[in-house]
Structure 1
Amino acid sequence: MPDLILHHYPTSPFSEKVRLILGYKQLAWQSVVIPRIMPKPDLLALTGGYRRTPVLQIGADMYCDTALIADALEHRQPAPTLYPEHQKGMARVVAQWADSTLFWAAMGHNLSPAGAAALFAGQPPEAAQAFAADRGAMRAGMTSLRPGDASAAYKSYLRRLANMLHEQPFLLGAAPCIADFAAFHPLWFSRTVNPAMAGILDATPGVLAWMDRMAALGHGHLSKRSSTEAVAIAAAAQPAPLPDEPFQDEHGIALGSRVTVAAESFGQEPTEGLLRAATRTRFTLERTDERAGTLHVHFPRIGFVLRAVRA
């Protein structure tokens, strides 16, 4: 099977979610460290526009968004599972809440004026300005919590997580599931990336103990690749055959049509290509890049918008 290649950077919270899943499943993977702000020319050669972090590459197949990346890793290595039997729906719902509502409350706290000052302490002012401009462009049109409101919400959510962990080691029981990985990464940013803001965690020692259990899962077995090597790997490969899943048409757009797919919010840069699959869970676009060759770029349905390209 083609190698797993993760395009990420060390302080990316959503990348930490995937790195821990790789550790939980004890998978071998190749690490391609990408810039945390634009430009990202090698990544965009592979995705065609999508620039959020991380992206999972398997040969000439690109998986965007960590919800879909988790599904791809579950397919690659089903055990131990991320989706426990009889709790699949609950696990996915909690994960979706954690990746959105919890994440934005945590980041509103972590990147408050005091948090940003701590995060960029010792760096030239241009670094903070470039990061703020990059993330500001990605948040265009979004409503952001004010820092005080974010911190208050974050405290409430931490108490709710603590309640879920009462008398059990993980959020939904005896073993970690997708809900744990999704809830962990925003808190990891507070504790590890910007520890000046980690005091908010002290009121929930049960959450801290759970974080220790999660961190102990590790990151699996990694080796390093350059981004140019990853592009060459894609160029030398062909997209894998698509699973035989029914076409689910919710848009009146036929397979083979030229379309764009973009996130509903945060990082709405579109990817354009030919619609090769629209199943109940994902979209697949075929696109060609002069450096990377023919590619399939996969997106989850939830959180993404499909549009036809009008001639």
Structure 2
Amino acid sequence: MPRPDIKALGTNYRRIPLMSIGRDIYNDTRLILSKLEQLFPPSPQHPSISSNPGLSKLFEIWAVDGGGFRNAGALIPAEMPLLKDPKFQKDREEYTGFSWTPENVAKGRADALVEMRNTFENIERNFLADGREWIAGTKEPSLTDIEAVWLLHWLRGLPGALPPDVISKTQFPRTFAWVERFDGAAKAAAEKMGKPKTVKWPEVKGIVKGSEFAEVEASADGNDPSGYKKGTVVEVWPTDSGFSHRDRGTLVGLDWREIVIKSKMEDGTEVRVHAPRHGFRIKEVKDGETKL
């Protein structure tokens, strides 16, 4: 069977990362990474990035559910022009559900600094103190590093976000060195892969329309606590952010890991939309409309 054509769709109107493999469309970075590991078994050309799934999951929960993302957002300097842009404020408020005016961001800054400093402290003292280069003790960066580093990497590159008298190389030399190591490894990998092709939306739609499904249609767990059965028309949306926009379709797959709905593109092309079970909500709807 030929390898399906993989296309990164970028982010949709909810700013949630999307990936299409044929006519299967995957929501959210967490699911995208696991699907790539599942659908394309490790080989010398693309070795596995999984090393310690439990530890990776704990860092994922910290970043998304444990307040990491919210605290990092509160460290955006209030004087940045972006925070004074009404369009940006409205976009972020719709995405996260809380106010992004400079005044409200500034109010949460002190508490966010305490929480973020504790994160740097935890990594410095409890993970890197023994001299390891990567969080899970691997020879190369792994999924655990990706889950743990992305917020710290972003803050490190945001001028004014981290006051040097509170969080800097002086207080946390191992952690900053680890972030810089990861940055170097990511840049080296990107250079090796070459410049990615930019695919515009009309071309994406054509590729999806002309493709097959990448996966066999899933099944729905008859004992799922939700009580929803295969064939039910439902809405699916994230609970952590971007929750004001929802995907709608016919439920075709449901278990403790994943929600899968069958829907249609604007031209009637049938697709399957996959979302992680954790961090997403599902609800039955009655009007039967199943277009994206």
Task: Give the structure-2-normalised TM-score.
Answer: 0.79
Aligned partner of residue 151 in structure 1, secondary structure: helix
In structure 1, the partner of 2:55 is: 90
Q: Does 1:234 find its partner at 2:208?
A: yes
Distance 2:256 2:216 in 1: 14
Change (3 A) 1:4 1:292: farther
Distance 2:17 2:123 in 1: 25
Q: 1:140·1:266 contact (CA, 8 Å) conserved in 2?
A: yes
- 2:276 paired residue among 297, 300, 308: 300
Aligned partner of residue 161 in structure 2, secondary structure: helix
Written as runs of structure 1 = structure 2, the 5 A alignment for 1:162-201 is: 162-163=124-125, 164-167=127-130, 168-174=132-138, 175-192=140-157, 194-198=158-162, 199=164, 200-201=167-168
Structure 2 portions without partners, runs of 5+: 288-292
Distance 1:292 1:197 in 2: 46
The offset of 1:300, in angstroms, is: 0.4
The amino acid that maps onto 1:298 is H
In structure 1, the partner of 2:178 is: 210
Of stretches 180-189 and 233-242 in structure 1, the one that deviates more from structure 2 is: 233-242
- 2:70 paired residue among 104, 128, 142: 104
In structure 2, the partner of 1:63 is: 26
Q: 1:95·1:183 contact (CA, 8 Å) conserved in 2?
A: yes
Q: 1:275·1:284 contact (CA, 8 Å) conserved in 2?
A: yes
Distance 2:74 2:276 in 1: 26
In structure 2, the partner of 1:23 is: none
Distance 2:112 2:123 in 1: 16
Q: 2:27·2:274 contact (CA, 8 Å) conserved in 1?
A: yes
Change (3 A) 1:58 1:201: farther
Structure 1 portions without partners, runs of 5+: 9-33, 35-42, 45-50
Aligned partner of residue 122 in structure 2, secondary structure: helix
The amino acid that maps onto 2:256 is R
Q: 1:55·1:65 contact (CA, 8 Å) conserved in 2?
A: yes
Aligned residues: 260
Q: Does 1:249 find its partner at 2:214?
A: no
Q: 1:102·1:183 contact (CA, 8 Å) conserved in 2?
A: no
Aligned partner of residue 296 in structure 1, secondary structure: strand
C-alpha RMSD of the superposition: 2.6
The amino acid that maps onto 2:116 is Y
Distance 1:179 1:98 in 2: 12
In structure 2, the partner of 1:40 is: none
The offset of 1:292, in angstroms, is: 6.7
Q: 1:275·1:286 contact (CA, 8 Å) conserved in 2?
A: yes
Identity %: 23
The offset of 1:141, in angstroms, is: 6.1
The offset of 1:293, in angstroms, is: 1.4
Larger % of helix: which?
1
